[in-house]
Chain A
Amino acid sequence: MKENNPNKDRLKYLLFVPTMVILVSMTIVPFVFSLLTSLTNYKATEPDNWRFIGLDNFTRALMDKDIQSSFVNTLVYVAGAVSLEFVLGILIALLLNRKMRGITVIRMLLLLPMMATPVAVGLMWRWLLNTDFGIINYYLSAWFEITGPNWLGEYALAMPVVILVDVWQWTPFVVLSLLAGLQSLSDDPIEAASMDGASSWQMFWNITLPQLKSIILVVLLIRIIDAFKSFDVVWTLTNGGPGVSTELLSLRVYRVAFKFWETGYASAISWLFLIIVMLITSQFIRFLYKETPK
């Protein structure tokens, strides 16, 4: 085993070839391709009739009211869902971290919402929340004599409800990650602090939370990235409606590309979407590196 065996040297790079071919052909090549189409007025329905129009698509996108509102919707959705998931997630993780019977079963059941097919999740909630046939409004009126609102049909309500469905689906992920973190912590500092008469809130805030910091930050990053990717649940729940009140950027890209068939314009929007997500997540990663020196 010589260190500078040329065969071994070749092997260690050869092992990357399949991964690199697939990743480059599904990320860098499409990005270059869409950068080129974004400079044209190409429409997939009229493939022979196009010309370069410079940055027109980008200036149009920046002025487009629908793009602006889907951008705001995306930010509201990501910020709303992820922050609620963390507040609830931490509380529920603490709740489950007591000595409890059946904790293995509970942990297994908590996998349900995030493992269920998202399209099925969207359709189920759409049914449960339906004004006329939905079980939620039925029991609201049968038990409490409240006329339930049209959850997914009202402008002001649709976005909060869509966010709550995401919260329903992904809070268990936060709970289970933090629970795993909590259970790997040693009891010693907590015991010492409780000997000294610290309150449970002080112990949580000053001892438990700092130890969980790195897990919290990583799980937060994963949730932010995945929330930006959301498409299927919102698609099946509201399809962006009513109006464009729950239309996320991902749904907007789909609509412009495959309903209006404005391929060039959709490519420009895709690029703006990519830049926004990369800016936000890379800032977050930089922050994360600063906070958790390794």
Chain B
Amino acid sequence: MMGIMNLRMRRFLWNRMLDVLTYMILLVAIFPVGWMVLTSLKTSWDAQSLPPVWLFVPTFENYQALFSSGSTSSNFGGLLWNSVVVSFVSTVLSIVFGALAAYSLSRFRLKRGKDIAIWILSTRMFPPAATLVPVFMMMSWFDLIDTYAALIIPYTAFNLSFVVWMLKGFFDDIPVDLEESAMIDGCSRMSAFVRIILPLIAPGLAATAIICLMFSWNEFMFALVLSRNEVVTAPVIANQFITMYGVQWGELTAASTLMTAPVLIFAILVRNHMIKGLTMGSVK
């Protein structure tokens, strides 16, 4: 009797210890981002004071400063708008183009179809830094530096292999009979695709789109090289809060929060598909 009690007791204590460990790990995982959000709500004085201020009345003055003229980044709204344009357009393009290619790969017997699929997948392996220089030269050749196109085209390309691979998986899961019966009823293949197949894969499509959005929204290296003044995106300027104006932690954390928030909100909306998406469909 005592032995069983001891065993249960030990198992119980062991489990509580593991719980505490879990919460500590969780704290480490969320602290930097949490601290960023907290700091963005402090006055600029509190933001840089040591010892750190834990209790304070939240204020939005850093956010107001970001959008008011005369501050260090008077056009942060414009930068966010550039990020929105570039990421949305490139996401829509890669989803539309990718869906067509994925559908063809999934439904038709193609000559060298497997080679095409593998080639498309392999473009994801190329380190972007290796194409940075020639893409920069091509964009200057066509006089596209500092235009939306200069960012949208590479971002679309980077997302395409991912989109094709993901959507091919979703299409493969849908029985061919569904669209064939629709086609017997008089639908064309294209309208069967739009009316029957696309609605069926809508959740997966949404998750795929959000991962594309996340990539384009967060991208830094190409934005740094291919923009000058007109199409600078938010991540590029965030860096300059340190290098150009001295350090303004209140505004910097507010800007970082504004950059991170949309991605997080979208990610939470499709959280059940995030891991499947990020592992390119290999984890269900």
**Selected contact of B153 from candidates A26, A222, A273, CB within 8 Å:** A26
Whether B85 is near chain A, meaning CB under 8 Å from some CB there, is: no
Q: How far is the CA of A176 from the CA of B129 in the complex (A)?
A: 28
Q: Contacts of A278 on B, CB cut-off 8 Å?
A: 125-126
**Cross-chain contact A107 with B271 (CB below 8 angstroms):** yes
Given contacts A19-B160, A111-B271, contact A222 B280 (CB under 8 A): yes
A173 within 8 A of B: yes
CB closest chain-A residue, reference B264? A115
Is A27 within 8 A of B29, CB to CB?
A: no
Contacts of A127 in B (CB 8 A): 247, 249
Instruction: Give complex CA distance A113, B35 in Å.
Output: 12
Kindly state whether residue B36 has any CB partner on chain A within 8 Å: yes
Interface status of B279 (Cβ within 8 A of chain A): yes
A56 interface contact, C-beta 8 A: no
Chain A contact-residue range equals 35 or more
Query: Would A133 and B50 count as touching, CB distance under 8 A?
Result: yes
Query: Given contacts A133-B48, A215-B282, A222-B280, are A22 and B97 in contact (CB under 8 A)?
Result: yes
* B282 lies within 8 A of A176 (CB): no
Known: A22-B157, A95-B21, A222-B279. A267 touches B264 (CB 8 A): no
In contact, A26 and B256 (Cβ under 8 angstroms): no
Q: Is B101 located at the chain interface by the 8 A CB criterion?
A: yes
Closest A residue to B19 using CB positions:
A100
Q: Which of B29, B154, B256, B264 contacts A172 (CB under 8 A)?
A: B29
Interface band, chain B: 35 or more
Residues of B205-264 whose CB lies within 8 A of A: 214, 217-218, 220-221, 225, 234-235, 238-239, 241-242, 247, 249, 252-253, 256-257, 259-260, 263-264
Interface residues of A in 207-228 (CB under 8 A from B): 214-215, 218-219, 222, 225, 228
Q: Which residues of chain A are within 8 angstroms of B25 by Cβ–Cβ distance?
A: 92, 95
The digit string for B106-144, where 1 denotes a CB below 8 A from any CB of A, is 011010000010001001111111111111111010000
Assess whether A177 is in contact with B138, with CB atoms less than 8 Å apart.
no
Would you call B137 and A44 a contact (CB within 8 A)?
Answer: yes
Among B11-68, those with CB < 8 Å from A are 15, 18-19, 21-22, 25-26, 28-30, 32-33, 35-36, 48, 50-52
CA distance A30 to B222 in the complex (A): 14
Segment touching B, from A61-69, A154-162, A186-194, A253-261: A253-261
Closest to A270 in B: B130
Give B90 Cβ to nearest chain A Cβ, in Å: 10
11 pairs across A/B with beta carbons < 8 Å? A18-B97, A26-B154, A119-B235, A123-B252, A222-B278, A232-B220, A235-B239, A236-B239, A254-B225, A266-B133, A270-B134
